[in-house]
A = this chain, B = another copy of it.
Amino acid sequence: MQQPTSISAPSRAAGVGALLQLLRDGGPRTRADLVNETGMGRSTVTLRLDALLRTGLVRAEAGSSTGGRPPTAVRFEPSARTVLAVDVGAAHLAIAVTDLSGTVLAEHREPIAIDEGPQAVLERVRRAGTTLLTDLAPHPPLAGVGVGLPGPVEHATGRPRTPPIMPGWDGADVAGILGATFDVPVLVDNDVDLMALGEHAEVYPEIEHLMFVTIATGIGAGIIAGGSLVRGADGAAGDLGHIAVPGGAPVPCTCGNTGCLEALASGPALIHALRAAQRPVSTAEDVLALVADGDVEAAERMRLAGQNLGAVLAGCVNLLNPSVIVIGGPFAAAGSPLFTGIEQVVRARSLPLATARLRVVPSRTEGRAGLLGAARAVADHVLAPVAVEAMPEV
């Protein structure tokens, strides 16, 4: 059989996503820039750019007025779509509507109990999300929903996998339940993984190796290595809380082992130790208030928690060689006693090469790392070339 020799017309969609990616990462460009950078023909660029302009994801910039007719530049338009970002914690729910660059347009917080189970908690998410969107109306089309959960999540299906502190949630179809209401893609991920993604995107976009560590009811970490999130084979990466602390006291842990980091340095462990020392504390805020008031016992307990955390982080530094470790969660606000404790042990127990440029710093996203990460995950998903090329308008 002879092969046909006619030249196929280039697919109209192929390359649209690549153009958008260029504009999203690198700022405004003229058509000539895009022809140069992609190697596509001018007519092809024009065809594809017209398709992108129709989606609203790209818009023409106003020309400069220095005389003549300057070539019009086009740029990515993050406000063309909205995202519903959801951060489900053990005891709180935070929801935000953002644009595609993570700018928060509206935000809502309420206390919850994760052990109410998925139906009840996700009903709260539906109600609060719908209210936020209604109050904002008219708003640009919703592109997707991003959800962080406080346990391991199977990335491919978005279902929680045997999450230890989420009774009733194992295998729950979170995406299906929320998708039925919002009718857009729903991405589900571990909450600390999303915090790492959010802090990285917002504060450290140029850093390749970063860890985000939360100290709260539990202790967990999100890992960025080589610029990408490390989820692990079962979505269980970053479980710092049940690593045995080298040299730590053999305190029993809720997991059945002894000497886990969580048993020594979590919020409940700190509160327990301070109560034993006759300090009337029952929340993280109480502990932080004592530290701020100069209570010596509280500062010392916070420093010890930092040392125990540092003993585990020293191993993480030897293993992963990050250049930034971000400490998040309420206790990060304890400041000096906590960070001094961490630094003492990390610097003593890690290779000099790995600590020479290492920074251990508090989170700079004001408790919004999880929301920003959820927004980022959705934006990355819906703006990926394969997704853009499948858009009905393109």
Q: Does A319 contact B (CB under 8 A)?
A: yes
Q: Mark A266-298, 1 if CB is under 8 A from B, else 0.
A: 000000000000000000000000000000000
| B42 and A4 contact, CB distance less than 8 A | yes
CA distance A245 to B232 in the complex (A): 23
Look across to chain B and name the residue whose beta carbon is closest to the beta carbon of A13.
B39
| A349 and B312 contact, CB distance less than 8 A | no
The secondary-structure label for the interface of chain A is loop
- Which of the four size classes fits the interface of chain A? 35 or more
Q: Does A323 contact B (CB under 8 A)?
A: yes
CA distance A152 to B354 in the complex (A): 10
B-contacting residues, A191-239, CB 8 Å: 207-209, 221, 223, 225-226, 228-239
The answer to whether residues A42 and B244 also contact, given A161-B353, A232-B209, A234-B354 and a CB cut-off of 8 A, is no
Contacts of A229 in B (CB 8 A): 226
A-B CB contact pairs (8 Å), 15 listed: A1-B69, A1-B71, A3-B42, A7-B43, A9-B41, A209-B233, A223-B319, A225-B225, A226-B230, A233-B358, A234-B354, A236-B351, A240-B319, A244-B349, A312-B315
Instruction: Identify the A interface with B (CB < 8 A).
Output: 1, 3-11, 14, 31-32, 35, 39-44, 68-69, 71, 152, 161-162, 164, 207-209, 221, 223, 225-226, 228-240, 242-248, 257, 259, 311-312, 314-316, 318-323, 348-354, 356-358
